[in-house]
């Protein structure tokens, strides 16, 4: 950015010769030339669009996960949005608008007294009770009213109109004994008092801000917000407090942002200035503010109206008057300050995009933890339907009771027609044999599903509890514990699949000949036989079980082949298995949902969009 057009360098005391300030402004010919080469409308439109795009993205950025640094990132979003709304967009869109000079500083530094002295009459309240500036006051020339009465700057602060001063500077100064204009205004701190006064030069308005180290947190936040909305800082400190940490935190930020700063060293005892000024000048230079002019106000008693003796602020008053009178110098101050603000907004945008990316990464990991745990459970369940393990114990026993072994196999080969009578000899009052097999299959598969889903829940919870963000999302909830209705839901899924198998057989057996064979055996029997065939692979069995399960599977398969043919059985078994896997996946995914729903608080990924928008702000701002 071009160099500061306002006076800088040498320490001044009391009445700084106005010709020095004027010569400093004239010395900024290079800056004036830069301003002339960059008309007000140059790159302002493109910059405004880029800033608005970034603002819209940040306005939708919540950073809901408790990732490391999330709290400070949320505060950065808040501050960046406030800076964009309060200063950056208004200034980019109106580079030739009057400058806003914020008078800021520590508690008791004499800010209100300084403002009163610059205006020429008491307009703000000064006193021993802290904080005295309970609401900010913006004093402007009457002809500059349109620039501040609307929401161009500080749009979130309600406007309160203060008492209009006399049109005569002499008569205005004759009202020194009148009460301060702000004393009769009883508005909350979220309002901005506007006061038009001809004691202020046209082109530069003064804003009396709350203390930056106020005992009121609300006042401290407001002071920072106002300083971020300033084109120019009149930073007020005292001989006793000029090296305090809090003011220097803000001054260092001003240096980073390239803000035009004038330092007012107030209440300096006689003979102390020569000792303090060089040290203050050194500190300013070390923090990138070596061009900031210093104005010294000697310690002096206030008169009955609470005003400083005449002449003590003439140097600062002349400096502001010269700046107000030079439109090119004002434009350069505005460009320099808004350029620094644009760089800061772009840098914060980049940092926020990284914070958003962290949230996206953590969200992806938490989602992956849940999905992987449940996918593993699903694969274990599916594997149990393929390796023959479901044909152990009761299922195997019921199937053996139902079909016999060799005798049943011989009867199938000899005459399928006899099978119906053979299989209908159930004991009266008990479920039919095929129903007992079906129930045993349901019970066995249900037990496997419940066990694997319980593991998935435990694994998901363990992984989430190991992450700060996951712990915050879970809170005190035991999401890893299966809901009570899971066993019933599992049983319902299995029964629904059994119904699917029966419907499949009915569709495949729609032909007259096939239908007759199915009816001769019994639909339920054929259905159970197909389920046994689906589960009859014996990879997971050992010893005698292999032979028993294998023979059982052969019996079921041979029975089905006699009805549907070899290719038909293969097709039916494959279709039945796929249908089962679809239902099992739906069940498992329904158990994932309570976990994944907690991640719905994270918006769609937009870290890349924020990063790109911040880069556009940077690039367009450099052309401003």
- pLDDT at position 504 over 50: yes
Measure the CA–CA gap between 293 and 314, rounded to whole angstroms.
Answer: 14
Residue 256 has pLDDT above 70, yes or no: yes
Region 391-418: mean pLDDT is 53
Q: How confident is the model at residue 513 (pLDDT cuts 50, 70, 90)?
A: low
pLDDT at 582: 95
pLDDT at 432: 65
In whole angstroms, what is the distance from residue 613 CA to residue 3 CA? 28
Given pLDDT bands bounded at 50, 70 and 90, which one contains residue 56? Answer: very high
Residues 6+ apart with CB under 8 A from 400: 548, 552
Average pLDDT on 127-145 reads 72
Determine the pLDDT at residue 449: 95
Alpha carbons 143 and 564: distance in angstroms, whole number: 97
Q: What is the pLDDT of residue 360?
A: 94
d(CA 373, CA 457): 8
**Contact in structure between 432 and 426 (CB atoms under 8 Å):** yes
pLDDT-derived band at 398, boundaries 50, 70, 90:
low
Of the listed ranges 343-352, 510-519, 547-556, 605-614, the one predicted with least confidence: 547-556
Residue reference for tokens 């161009």:
152
Burial of 564: CB neighbours in 10 Å, binned 0-12, 13-18, 19+? buried
Kindly state the average pLDDT of the residues 122-142: 70
pLDDT tens readout for residues 543-557:
444 444 444 555 567
Region 488-492: what's the mean pLDDT? 95
Query: Cβ neighbours of residue 222 under 8 Å, at least 6 residues apart?
Result: 136, 189, 190, 209, 210
Angstrom distance (rounded) from CA 239 to CA 269? 8
Residue 322, pLDDT > 90, answer yes
Mean pLDDT value across residues 511-516: 62
Three-state secondary structure call for residue 404: coil
Residue 14 has pLDDT above 60, yes or no: no
Rounded mean pLDDT, 256-281: 87
What digits encode the pLDDT tens for the residues 216-229? 777 788 888 888 88
Give per-residue pLDDT as tens, 565-584: 888 888 888 899 999 999 99
| CA distances (Å), origin 124, targets 184, 430, 479 | 11, 97, 59
Residues 154-160, mean pLDDT to the nearest whole number: 86
pLDDT tens figures, 438-483 = 788 888 899 999 999 999 999 999 999 999 999 999 999 999 999 9
pLDDT of residue 22: 36
Most confident of 118-127, 255-264, 365-374: 365-374
Per-residue pLDDT for 388 more than 90? no
More confident residue, 187 or 123: 123
d(CA 534, CA 573): 6
Locate 396 and state its tokens: 């195997």
How are beta strands 204-208 and 11-13 bridged, if at all? unpaired
Q: Report whether pLDDT(512) > 60.
A: no
Q: What is the mean pLDDT of the chain?
A: 79
Pick from 107-111, 280-284, 389-393, 422-426: least confident: 422-426
What pLDDT does 67 receive?
A: 93
168 band by pLDDT with thresholds 50, 70 and 90: very low
pLDDT above 70 coverage of the chain, percent:
75
Average pLDDT score over residue span 106-134: 75
Name every residue whose Cβ is closer than 8 Å to that of residue 562 and which is 6 or more positions away in sequence.
412, 416, 517
Q: What is the pLDDT of residue 556?
A: 64
pLDDT digits (tens, 9 = 90+) for 331-372: 999 999 999 999 999 999 999 999 999 999 999 999 999 999
pTM greater than 0.75 (yes/no): no
Q: What is the rounded average pLDDT of the residues 299-320? A: 91
Give the range among 82-96, 529-543, 579-593 with minimum mean pLDDT: 529-543
Cβ–Cβ under 8 Å, residues 58 and 618: no
Element (H, E) at 48: helix 44-59
Q: Residue 15's pLDDT band (boundaries 50, 70, 90)?
A: very low
Write phi, then psi, for 11 (nearest 5 degrees).
Answer: -75, 140
Q: What is the pLDDT of residue 436?
A: 76
Tell me how far apart the alpha carbons of residues 12 and 213 are, in angstroms, rounded to a whole number. 27
Band (316; pLDDT cuts 50, 70, 90): very high
Quick check: 435 pLDDT over 90?
no
Which of 75 and 534 is assigned the larger pLDDT?
A: 75
Residue-wise pLDDT for 232-243, tens only, equals: 999 888 888 887
- 407 pLDDT higher than 70: no
**Residue 497: pLDDT above 90?**
yes
Higher pLDDT, 14 or 289: 289
For CA atoms 9, 10, 15, 21, the dihedral sign is negative
Q: What is the end-to-end Cα distance of the chain in Å, rounded? A: 10
């Amino acid at each position: 950015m071009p160099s500061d057009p306002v006076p800088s360098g040498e320490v001044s005391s009391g009445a700084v010769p106005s010709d020095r300030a004027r010569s400093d402004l004239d010395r900024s010919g290079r800056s004036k030339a830069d301003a002339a080469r960059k008309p007000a409308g140059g790159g302002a439109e493109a910059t405004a669009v880029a800033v608005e795009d970034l603002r819209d993205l940040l306005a939708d950025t919540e950073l809901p996960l408790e990732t490391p640094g999330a709290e400070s990132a949320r505060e950065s979003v808040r501050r960046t949005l406030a800076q964009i709304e309060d200063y950056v967009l208004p200034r980019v869109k109106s580079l030739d608008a009057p400058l806003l000079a914020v008078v800021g500083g520590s508690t008791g530094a004499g800010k209100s007294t300084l403002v009163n002295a610059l205006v020429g009459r008491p307009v703000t309240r000064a006193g021993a009770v802290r904080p005295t500036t309970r609401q900010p006051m913006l004093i402007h020339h009457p002809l500059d009213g349109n620039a501040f009465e609307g929401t161009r700057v500080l749009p979130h602060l309600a406007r309160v109109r203060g008492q209009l001063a006399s049109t005569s500077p002499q008569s205005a100064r004759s009202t020194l004994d009148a009460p301060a204009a702000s004393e009769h205004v009883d508005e909350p701190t979220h309002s901005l008092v506007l006061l038009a006064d001809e004691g202020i030069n046209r082109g530069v308005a003064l804003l009396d801000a709350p203390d930056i180290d106020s005992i009121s947190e609300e006042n401290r936040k407001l002071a920072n917000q106002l300083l971020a909305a300033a084109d120019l800082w009149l930073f007020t400190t005292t001989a006793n407090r000029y090296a305090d940490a809090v003011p220097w935190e803000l001054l260092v930020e001003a240096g980073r942002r390239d803000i035009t700063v004038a330092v007012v060293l107030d209440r300096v005892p006689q003979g102390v200035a020569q000792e303090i000024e060089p040290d203050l000048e050194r500190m300013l230079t070390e923090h990138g503010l070596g061009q900031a002019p210093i104005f010294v106000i000697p310690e002096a008693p206030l008169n009955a109206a609470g005003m400083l003796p005449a002449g003590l602020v003439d140097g600062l008053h002349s400096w502001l008057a010269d700046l107000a009178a030079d439109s090119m110098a004002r434009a350069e101050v505005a460009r320099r300050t808004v350029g620094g603000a644009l760089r800061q907004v772009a840098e914060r945008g980049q940092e926020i995009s990284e914070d958003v990316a962290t949230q996206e990464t953590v969200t992806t990991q938490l989602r992956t933890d849940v999905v992987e745990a449940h996918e593993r459970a699903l694969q274990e369940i599916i594997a149990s339907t393929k390796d023959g393990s479901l044909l152990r114990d009761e299922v195997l026993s019921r199937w053996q009771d139902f079909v016999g072994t060799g005798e049943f196999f011989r009867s199938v080969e000899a005459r399928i027609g006899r099978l119906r009578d053979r299989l209908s000899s159930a004991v009266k009052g008990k479920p039919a044999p095929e129903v007992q097999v079906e129930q045993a299959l349901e019970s066995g598969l249900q037990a496997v599903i419940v066990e694997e889903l319980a593991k998935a829940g435990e694994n998901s919870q363990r992984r989430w509890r190991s992450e700060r963000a996951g712990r915050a999302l879970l809170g005190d909830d035991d999401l890893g514990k299966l809901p009570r209705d899971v066993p019933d839901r599992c049983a319902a899924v299995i029964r629904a699949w059994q119904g699917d198998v029966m419907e499949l057989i009915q569709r495949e057996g729609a032909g007259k000949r096939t239908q007759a064979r199915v009816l001769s055996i019994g639909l339920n029997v054929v259905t159970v036989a197909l389920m046994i065939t689906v589960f009859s692979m014996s990879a997971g069995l050992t010893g005698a079980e292999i032979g028993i399960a294998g023979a059982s599977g052969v019996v079921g398969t041979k029975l089905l082949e006699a009805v549907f043919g070899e290719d038909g059985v293969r097709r039916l078994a494959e279709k039945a298995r796929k249908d089962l896997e679809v239902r099992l996946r739906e069940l498992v995914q329904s158990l994932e949902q309570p976990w994944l729903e907690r991640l719905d608080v994270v918006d769609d990924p937009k870290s890349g969009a924020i990063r790109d928008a911040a880069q556009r702000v940077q690039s367009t701002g450099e052309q401003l």
